[in-house]
Chains A and B, each alone.
Chain A
Amino acid sequence: MKLFDSTVSTLERSLDVRLQRQNLLAGDIANANTPGYSPKDLNFREAMDAAQGVESGQPLPPIDAFITQSEGTPGLDGNRVDADHALVQLAQNAIQYGASARAVGKKLEILRAVADS
C-alpha cells in the first residue's frame, strides 16, 4: 500500500486535461472573428480513458490525439465558432477543474491527518 495511490495521479491527470481544454476554448473565443477558423475542443473522456491504462511512473499519453475540430455551420466568413457555446463550455470546464482541485486538496488533507496522528 503506497501513501500516494492512483487517486492523486488520476486527479492530477484530470487537472492537466481540464487546463489543456481551457486553453483550446480560450483560443476558440480569441478567434471568434477570424475568417475560416474552425473551433477546437478536447474529448475529456477519451483522454482520461487513455490515462487509466498507464502504469504508475510511466509517462502519460500526449493529449494531442484527443483534440477534435468542430464541424459547426460556418458563417459568411467561413468561421465556425459559436461564441455562446464556447463561453458555456469554458465556464463548465472551469467548474470541473475546481472540483478536481478540491478533490486533490481533500485527499491530501486525509493523508495529512494520517501523518499527524
Chain B
Amino acid sequence: MDFFSAMNISASGLAAERTRVDAAASNLANMDATRGPDGKPYKRIDPILAAVPFENDMNATSVQVMGMAQSEAPGRKVYSPGHPDADGDGFVTLPDVNPIHETVNLISASKAYDANASAIETLKTMAQRALDIAK
C-alpha cells in the first residue's frame, strides 16, 4: 500500500465519473435520433458501476465500469405525419430520454469528478510532507 495505490483508486473514480458524463452527453445528443445503429430509435445508455477490491488489497476499494446498460423502454410516440420515420398512423417513436434526468446525472457526475480530483490533490500534499521528512 503506497501513495500511488490511493492515487489509482481516485483515478478509477475519475474514469467512472467521466463515463457517466459521456453517457449523459450521448443520451442528450441523441434524444431525438429516430435511427440508431440497428435502424431503430436510439436506446438510452446507463453505465453500470461496481466496487472492486484494489489490486491485491482486500480493504481498499476502487470503482470500475462493468458495462453499459441499454434501456429497453418503448420510447415516446409523437404524432408527426410528415416525418420520414413516421408509421402508418403518422406516429414517430422517439428515444426514451428524459433531458431533466440526464442533466441531473451530468451535474452529479461532475461534482463527484471534482471530489475525486480533490482527493488526489490532498494525497499529493501528503506525499510532499513525507518527502519533507528527509529535508
**A-B pairs with beta carbons under 8 A, tally:** 118
Q: Which residues does chain A contribute within 8 Å of B111, judged by CB atoms?
A: 83
- A31-B3 contact, Cβ under 8 Å, with A83-B115, A91-B122: no
Query: B30 in the interface, Cβ–Cβ < 8 Å?
Result: no
Asked if B10 contacts A31 (CB within 8 A), the reply is no
Task: Digitize B69-86: 1 where CB-to-A-CB distance is under 8 Å, 0 elsewhere.
Answer: 000000000000000000
Asked if B132 contacts A29 (CB within 8 A), the reply is no
Q: Which residues does chain B contribute within 8 Å of A67, judged by CB atoms?
A: 59
- Taking CB atoms and an 8 Å cut-off, the chain A residues in 52-92 that contact chain B are 63-64, 67, 83, 86-87, 90-91
Distance (whole angstroms) from the CB of A63 to the closest CB of chain B: 8
Asked if A26 contacts B49 (CB within 8 A), the reply is no
Asked if A27 contacts B61 (CB within 8 A), the reply is yes
Distance (whole angstroms) from the CB of B106 to the closest CB of chain A: 13
Distance (whole angstroms) from the CB of B40 to the closest CB of chain A: 28
Q: Which residues does chain B contribute within 8 Å of A83, judged by CB atoms?
A: 111-112, 115
Q: Name B119's contact: one of A26, A35, A37, A64 (CB within 8 Å).
A: A26
Q: Which residues does chain B contribute within 8 Å of A110, judged by CB atoms?
A: none
Distance (whole angstroms) from the CB of B51 to the closest CB of chain A: 5
Asked if B119 contacts A108 (CB within 8 A), the reply is no
Q: Which residues does chain B contribute within 8 Å of A29, judged by CB atoms?
A: 10, 13, 112, 115-116, 119
Asked if A23 contacts B112 (CB within 8 A), the reply is no
- A31-B51 contact, Cβ under 8 Å, with A26-B9, A98-B126, A105-B133: yes
Q: Which residues does chain B contribute within 8 Å of A94, judged by CB atoms?
A: 122-123, 125-126
Distance (whole angstroms) from the CB of A58 to the closest CB of chain B: 20
Q: Which residues of A contact B (CB under 8 A)?
A: 15, 18-20, 22-35, 37, 40, 63-64, 67, 83, 86-87, 90-91, 94, 97-98, 101-102, 104-105, 108
